A and B are shown apart, each in its own frame.
Chain A
């Protein structure tokens, strides 16, 4: 049960965001810019960074929904869902680009704390072709999920169990984004 009375049947952060629309507005705008705005990182890469950080923070709602959105962007097959699981377990051995591996390493260090990110982490990312903007966005996506995960779990929001719920919602988010009315359903 949530720590404060929230609208019923609304999963994850959407419950407290309906409770407090004044803070929901900038939070939604930020998610939209970071996760879906113009970027040289693909939509799938950004969702995978969000999923990975959420898994490290042990936030079941965020890691499941953003894993499902990533799988949706990658092609929505069972194979892509397995790839997402593989990345969650160990990005270093998953069949993904060296650049994405380097960015996930930075994201994992941000999750532990800002000071855990080393100059060597960013050198490695640059060697794999990452730009300053991509490194910036990776740090900020990871930091943003450290906020969202704490918001979701710190208020003990509702987390559905049915995997199909996440698949359907992911398709909706992939199509309509984080600011539209669909994201509040």
Chain B
């Protein structure tokens, strides 16, 4: 049960977003720009950074929903199963996963941000640069990881309700990937019961 009285049936962060729209607005805008705004990092890569950080923070709702968004960015419905397998592998050990050396270097930075800002070393940055990362990409990686250290704590610090099974997150992830974090979720913050069952 949530620590405060939240609107019922809204999963994860959408409960406190509905409870406090004044803070939801900039938080949605930040997620929209960081994960879907113009960027030389693909939305899939950015969602993977968010998913990995959320996994390190042990936040079920965030790692599963952003994992589903990443899976949708990575390919169409027929590829979802293999995309989910790749995401599970990245969460378990990204260094041995079949992803680019650049994304590995960025996930290494994100993992250090999750532990604490001072854990990010000059060596981490040099590795990312040698794999082709730009200053803006390094900046955005640090900020995505930092922002998810906020979103994860918001979701779990209020003990919000969230579906357990991954299937419930597939339509949610599609909306996050294709409609985004601002307009779509304001109109339709929760999965319908049919979607949850599906």
Contact = CB atoms under 8 A, between A and B. Distances in A.
Interface of A: 3-5, 16, 19-20, 22-23, 25-27, 29-30, 33-34, 37, 57-59, 106, 109-110, 113-115, 117, 119, 121-122, 132-133, 135-137, 139-140, 142-144, 146-156
A162 to B, nearest CB: 22
A147 B147 contact: yes
Interface residues of B, number: 49
A151 B154 contact: no
B158 A33 contact: no
Contacts, number: 149
30 contacts: A4-B138, A4-B139, A16-B143, A20-B139, A23-B34, A30-B30, A57-B116, A57-B117, A58-B118, A114-B158, A115-B156, A117-B157, A117-B159, A122-B3, A132-B4, A139-B153, A140-B23, A143-B149, A143-B153, A144-B150, A147-B150, A150-B146, A151-B142, A151-B146, A152-B117, A153-B118, A154-B109, A154-B113, A154-B120, A155-B142
Interface string B11-44: 0000010011011011101100110010000000
A150 B43 CA distance: 22
Interface in B156-188: 156-159
A46 B163 CA distance: 33
Question: Which of B20, B112, B138, B150 gathers most chain A CB within 10 Å?
Answer: B150
B145 interface: yes
A44 to B, nearest CB: 20
B3 A142 contact: no
A53 to B, nearest CB: 10
B134 to A, nearest CB: 9
Contacts of B109: 154
